[in-house]
Amino acid sequence: MPPAETTVTLPKAEIPRSWYNVLPDLPEPLEPYLTPDGQPVKPEMLAPIFPEALIEQELSPKPRFDIPEPVLETLARWRPTPLTRAAGLEKALGVRSRIWFKNESVSPSGSHKSNTAMAQAYYNKAAGIKRLATETGAGQWGTALSIAGQAFDLNVRVYMVRISLEQKPGRKTVMNLMGAEVLSSPSDLTEAGRKAKAENPGTLGTLGLAISEAVEDAASRPDTNYSLGSVLNHVLLHQTIIGQELKKQFKAGGIKPDYLVACHGGGSNFGGMAVPFVPEIKDGAKISLIAAEPESCPSLTRGKFAHDFGDAAGLTPMLPMYTLGKDFQPPAIHAGGLRYHGASPIVSALVKSGMVKPEAIGGPELFRYASLFARTEFIVPAPESAHALAAACMKALELEQAGKPGDIVFVLSGHGLLDLSAYEDFINTY
Ligand SMILES: *Cc1c(COP(=O)(O)O)cnc(C)c1O
């Protein structure tokens, strides 16, 4: 008999009713966003592309924000998400540590992105906006926003990085099914897209370039706003529902985590898991926060801390973050959601202060752990999430060697059922 699985579930009544804002609790205040000529960005400069409520959330020192009732109702369709003990995986690894995963793959889009997509769609609708423009790398964010567009009656246009569209045509089908328009980026519809194509006709696109296209689209139409699925403070704010649920689940399940692990692309699932624990870590709690990033796009471990643009064309404010440079072209690894040159300013500040440890994960090991998880837990992990689960497995093995088993918790940020080309390559290669 395989070992019994344990799942810590919470009743609907336990869904957190507010989001936690880490800004006032950071070890040092966040440096301001800057314009290209080095001036601090004023809130009103963001108004052409974001609704007022989200601009407030981006910059506010308020400790908490109430979750609006319509957003709560939508989140309650799949939240609280389960925290499950990966007992099969533990056994296969031969470790005594307990490994737990917070399963964000149960959302409508199959990833944590739905947590912020619903909130962003709500605030834009409430501000009288009719249409959202966005980019998508791997496709999860575009899918989440397309669904949120249906939930809150908004048109959605998605600029999808060309390489991802070619690798995962099924993603476009889902977004089209959900009523969204999907364009291959770079496109001919924006200045940024036309310029990139003229300079490099064969370009496969980058997330930074797709962001430029979506920002330009939104800035040029009064009925349209821009929506971003990661990086920014308000996105991490919405994702704090993950860490807040975890706290309740730790209490309910008698879990004292030694390691909290999540993958890091732009920082939203990692930040959403981690920042609610910042106050207790400042008070001395011994919890290690591990951000698992890909070796091929290592912004936190190899990037430099600087003000840099969030996009390739330089249309966004310059954010204080770890960055590989806005022109960095990551190789075509299959974790599309982790191919971003920068990082969240909040996560960057926590890395800089030493409160978060980044680790670069890659190579065939990554997919070996992913397939071990699939075969023992019966869930196909998203390639992005595989970085977190591989890091968690390695921690469990380290603790075993040291003879000090503990509790290791990672976020399964999404499932990989629409990312099968990555697994096909792996199966054919190894
Ligand atoms: C987008 C995505 C990521 C990476 O984005 P973060 O903002 O770093 O969380 C990770 N996992 C999945 C499943 C994603 O869709």
Is residue 179 within 8 Å of 205, Cβ to Cβ? no
265 Cβ closer than 6 Å to some ligand 1 atom: yes
Domain boundaries, the chain: 7-15+69-110+233-429
Q: Is the CB of 300 under 6 A from ligand 1?
A: no
Residue 118 Rama label (left phi>0; alpha psi -120 to 50; beta): alpha
What pLDDT is stored for residue 4 in this prediction?
57
Helix, strand or coil for residue 158?
strand
List the helix and strand counts (H, then E) for the chain.
17, 15
Q: What is the spatial distance between Cα 49 and Cα 228, in angstroms, rounded to a whole number?
A: 10
d(CA 388, CA 396): 12
Give the distance (Å) from ligand 1 centre to CA of residue 114: 11
Q: What is the CATH number of domain 7-15+69-110+233-429?
A: 3.40.50.1100
Distance 140 CA to ligand 1 centre (A): 8
E strand or H helix at 206: none
Which protein residue's CA is at the shortest distance from atom 3 of ligand 1?
337
Nearest atom in ligand 1 to 385's CA: 11
Whether 111 is in the pocket of ligand 1, judged by its Cβ within 6 Å, is: yes
For the stretch 403-406, contacts whose Cβ atoms lie closer than 8 Å and that sit 24 or more positions apart, written own/partner, are: 405/95, 405/96, 405/97, 405/98, 406/97, 406/98, 406/258, 406/259
Peptide bond into 80 cis (omega under 30): yes
305: left (phi over 0), alpha (psi -120 to 50) or beta: beta
Angle at the Cα of 407 (from 110 to 233), degrees rounded to 5? 50
Cβ(140) – ligand 1 distance below 6 Å: yes
Q: Which of 209, 208, 210, 262 is nearest to 236 (CA)?
A: 262
| Residue with the two structure tokens 């957190």 | 16
Q: Name which residue sits closest to atom 4 of ligand 1, judged by CA.
A: 265
String of DSSP letters for 29-70? PPPPPB-TTSPBPPGGGGTTTS-HHHHHHHH---SEEEPPHH
Residue nearest to atom 14 of ligand 1 (CA): 337
- β-partners of residue 407 are 98
Q: How many angstroms separate the alpha carbon of residue 404 from the centre of ligand 1? A: 31
Q: Is ligand 1 within 6 A of the CB of residue 342?
A: no
Q: Do the beta carbons of residue 144 and residue 114 sit within 8 Å?
A: yes
Tens place of pLDDT per residue across the chain (430 aa): 445 569 999 999 999 999 999 999 999 999 999 999 999 999 999 999 999 999 999 999 999 999 999 999 999 999 999 999 999 999 999 999 999 999 999 999 999 999 999 999 999 999 999 999 999 988 999 999 999 999 999 999 999 999 889 988 999 999 999 999 999 999 999 999 999 999 999 999 988 899 999 999 999 999 999 999 999 999 999 999 999 999 999 999 999 999 999 999 999 999 999 999 999 999 999 999 999 999 999 999 999 999 999 888 888 899 999 999 988 877 766 777 787 889 999 999 999 999 999 999 998 899 999 999 999 999 999 999 999 999 999 999 999 999 999 999 999 999 999 888 888 888 887 7
